[in-house]
Amino acid sequence: MMLNSLPAALLAALLAVAALPGCAQTAQPALATYADRLAPLPAAPKVEIDVTAAPAAKPWAERASRLAADWFPHICQLLATDGFRPPKALKLTFKPKIGAPAYASGSEITIDSEWIAAHPDDFGVVIHEMTHLIQCYPGSRSTPGWLVEGIADYIRWWRYEPEAPRTPVDPDRAKVTDSYRTTASFLAWTSGCYHRGLVRTLDKACRDRSYKPEIFEQATGKTLETLWTEYTDGLRRARGR
């Protein structure tokens, strides 16, 4: 795929140098670890909006529908592995007081109209929930929730809006299982230092119900625990600790 066919934000994300702690590798990774090829670009689904319960959300909903149509195929390229069949239609439903900024189910994303009224620039919430629709992992006790949410936030914060400010990870309190931005930052660091295709590999394992912590060692040559220690040590060094 030609680079100029990518959305501007995605191209910037792919070319940007992530603000992550440096790698402390003991050996150079194999060249193959840098050759993470994009999957074929699927067709965008038809995106419908339902603002029946929140008519004032219509302008935001229309922008979100265009965003979803643009980004759904590219998230599939970045993430979805063999066996995923994109839906032909995607629905964005807006309601007040749903108890969360948004949630995904089936081929529908429900978004809190009061949240977007208070956070009108938070289109990243659509990217996060749309990633969940693409993940669509079958139920399995072997698939950890922290990783599912970490992958979704990796797509949002390290691919859709990598320049956006975010809360820094505290190396003395954080755990790799903290999920969301903490796990996403760790995945970005590990991908950059050891294996560009790590997130795709993890996605495949979750989709196949074959995830196990040893996958990190198979992909990088180091255990999950060792990688986390190296990552947090790098954070401390970057902060002069």
The per-residue pLDDT for range 50-77, each reduced to its tens digit, is 999 999 999 999 999 999 999 999 999 9
Q: Are 128 and 152 members of one domain?
A: no
Residue where a domain terminates, one of 136, 158, 184? 136
23, part of any domain: no
The sign of the torsion formed by the CA atoms of 169, 123, 160, 85 equals: positive
Q: What is the mean pLDDT of residues 157-173?
A: 91
Q: How confident is the model at residue 39 (pLDDT cuts 50, 70, 90)?
A: confident
3-state secondary structure of 189: helix
Q: Map 120-155 to HEC letters.
A: CCCCHHHHHHHHHHHHCCCCCCCCCHHHHHHHHHHH
**pLDDT tens-digit series, residues 143-157:** 999 999 999 999 999
Residue 168 lies in a domain: yes
Task: Give me the mean pLDDT over the 106-113 stretch.
Answer: 96
- Give the mean pLDDT of 29-35: 70
237 assigned to some structural domain: yes
185 neighbors 238 (Cβ within 8 angstroms): no
Specify whether 111 is located in the same domain as 157: no
User: Does 238 lie in the same domain as 170?
Assistant: yes
The two most distant CA atoms of the chain are separated, in Å, by 58
Domain boundary among 104, 136, 168: 136
pLDDT over 50 (residue 191): yes
26: confidence class by pLDDT, cuts 50, 70, 90: low
Domain membership of residue 8 (yes or no) is no
Q: Which domain holds residue 174?
A: 138-241
Beta bridge partners of 41: none
State which of 23-27, 40-44, 89-93, 134-138 shows the largest mean pLDDT. Answer: 89-93
Burial of 220 (0-12, 13-18, 19+ CB in 10 A): buried
Residues 163, 76, single domain; the answer is no
Residue 16 is assigned to a structural domain of this protein: no
Contact 84, 103 (CB under 8 A): no
Q: What are phi and psi for residue 98, nearest 5 degrees?
A: -95, 0
Q: Are residues 40 and 113 in the same domain?
A: yes
Average the pLDDT over 155-162 and give the result. Answer: 95
Residue 18: pLDDT above 60? no
Residue 73 is assigned to a structural domain of this protein: yes
What is the tally of structural domains in the chain?
A: 2
186 token code pair: 């760790």
One domain for residues 41 and 113? yes
Q: Are residues 65 and 115 located together in one domain of the fold? A: yes
Decide if 197 is inside a domain: yes
Give me the chain's average pLDDT, please: 88
Q: Is 31 a member of any domain?
A: no
Backbone angles phi, psi at 104, to 5 degrees: -120, 145
